[in-house]
Amino acid sequence: MSSVAIIDYGAGNLHSAAKAFERMARALGGVDILVTADPEQVRQADRIMLPGVGAFADCKAGLDAVLGMIEVLEEQVIRGGKPFLGVCVGMQLMASEGREKAVTAGLGWIPGAVERIRPSDPQLKIPHMGWNTITKTRPHALLEGIPDGPDGLHAYFVHSYHLVTEDDAMRIAITDYGGALTACVGRDNLFGAQFHPEKSQALGLRLIDNFLRWTP
């Protein structure tokens, strides 16, 4: 049986994320979903998911506080090549740094900075909250079978900041909110979604299913 570790570091939407993963794992069969704060259990997992809700600095501090977790992530994800999915602030933590109130170092996996959303239309409120379509900027296995563009499926967003990548090739999908915002990033065995798959109904469930099948 394969396994997915959903990391509990005090900053994630763990209950609904675990339920969505468990639903797709049952349909697929042979996949164990584990919510854990134990680095050793993360080390043993076949796939790793990092959630996150709140401020970048607070989430990074929470992750730093779990003794050995960042070291295991570097070992298993960066050097070991295990499939990794970051969601919302979990995706933002993949960046070089966050610029929310103060500059905070991220994991440095996706070169770029997490910056405040500045819509061209001043009538648009921050945070960007609600349902939006996404537009793929390049193909990716985790977005296979997901209709995109103006008539595509909708994803659920709640954020005031987004990841501005240094390398356009690492930006996989965008959404429009008074300008293009990063919706998905990735490289190699890494993928990040700014929206919440567990709240995004058909789009989110397909993305989770794709992740459970993904062999980068």
Positions annotated as catalytic residues are 88, 196, 198
Q: In the numeric block, which tokens belong to residue 130?
A: 């609600």
Q: Please give the sequence-ordered ranges of beta strands (E in DSSP) within 103-212, or none if there are none.
A: 104-105, 110-116, 128-133, 135-136, 154-159, 161-165, 171-176, 180-187, 190-193
CA–CA separation, 56 and 59 (whole Å): 5
Convert 174-190 to b/e letters by CB count within 10 Å (16 or more is b): bbebeeebbbbbbbebb
